[in-house]
Amino acid sequence: GAGVSQTPSNKVTEKGKYVELRCDPISGHTALYWYRQSLGQGPEFLIYFQGTGAADDSGLPNDRFFAVRPEGSVSTLKIQRTERGDSAMYLCASSLAGGPQETQYFGPGTRLLVL
């Protein structure tokens, strides 16, 4: 595709439920990033994939959060036992190879609301 896509665009769930957020990076990009943006704040790093492996998951807030990228393309961010504090915009980005000189291209985000 032409850009990074994310689905769904909006997700409303109840406290305690499980959710999955999907990211399709730009074709050919091996590096994929997830960020979380709370209202009125800048995005905060969650996890970085290089190919199929999570090179850095230090930003995941706790063990309820998990992400996969089994074939090195699409990634899914999974949140178990959702809490109201998980409500935020979840942003995915990709870049060509993960090099420090590269631009990260962001998707439109998934807005998660936990009631």
Partner 1 sequence: KQEVTQIPAALSVPEGENLVLNCSFTDSAIYNLQWFRQDPGKGLTSLLLIQSSQREQTSGRLNASLDKSSGRSTLYIAASQPGDSATYLCADRGGGSNYKLTFGKGTLLTVNP
Q: How far is the CB of 36 from partner 1 (least distance, A)?
A: 11
Exactly one of 35, 77, 79, 86 binds partner 1 (CB under 8 A); that residue is 35
Radius of gyration of the chain (CA): 13
Q: For residue 102, what are the β-bridge partners? A: none
User: How far is the C-alpha of 79 from the C-alpha of 65, rounded, in Å?
Assistant: 5
Q: Least Å distance between CB 3 and partner 1?
A: 9
Residues near partner 1 (CB under 8 A): 4, 6, 31, 33, 35, 40-45, 48, 55-56, 59, 89, 91, 93, 98-101, 103-109, 111
